[in-house]
Amino acid sequence: MRSNDEVPITAEGLAGVRRELQELTEVRRPQIVAKIKSARELGDLSENFEYHAARNEQSFLETRIQELQRIVQNHVLIESQIPTGEVQISSTVSFVEEDGPEESYKIVGPAEADPAAGRVSFESAIGRALLGRRAGDEVQVETPTGGSYTVRIVSIS
């Protein structure tokens, strides 16, 4: 069992987090500081849109930096698994939903989940339903809204 502070992540995901953190701290942060300085020089801060927009941007940036630092500090590396024929964390699973097109997703930790990029968390509804299943299995996926749907696993790699 993992503690609440641990962040399960693949080596690939951790490398991406580190790249993003470096970009934000070395490139974006100095750019925003320069924007704030430039906006301050425009005068009255109470009605200075550029200043307030830059400060807002800085707030979002610093929040993201803190989140990325938390991931790096608390990560637990998800090792590549020896293929067992079952869906595991770091497996890529192809499945079809009823008469829909075939979809493929890599099962990853929550910190690197991005369904649009083909990565779903093992904590998501589909991730939980697929773990431990085999190619050919029909799997019932319970949605957070109380509904459900069935998928058939086509392949696991």
Structure pTM?
Answer: 0.74
The mean pLDDT of 117-137, rounded to a whole number, is 95
- Average pLDDT rounded to a whole number, residues 92-117: 92
pLDDT digits (tens, 9 = 90+) for 18-43: 999 999 999 999 999 999 999 888 87
Nearest in space to 20 (alpha carbons), one of 69, 58, 57: 69
- Quick: pLDDT tens for 67-84: 999 999 999 888 766 667
pLDDT band for 66, please (50, 70, 90 cuts): very high
> What confidence category does residue 46 fall into, taking pLDDT thresholds of 50, 70 and 90?
confident
% of residues, the chain, pLDDT over 90: 70
Q: Is the per-residue pLDDT at 1 higher than 50?
A: no
Strands 75-78 and 7-10: parallel
pLDDT of the residue at 85: 87
Q: Which domains are present in the chain?
A: 7-78 (1.10.287.180), 92-156 (3.10.50.30)
- Whether 107 has a pLDDT exceeding 80, the answer reads yes
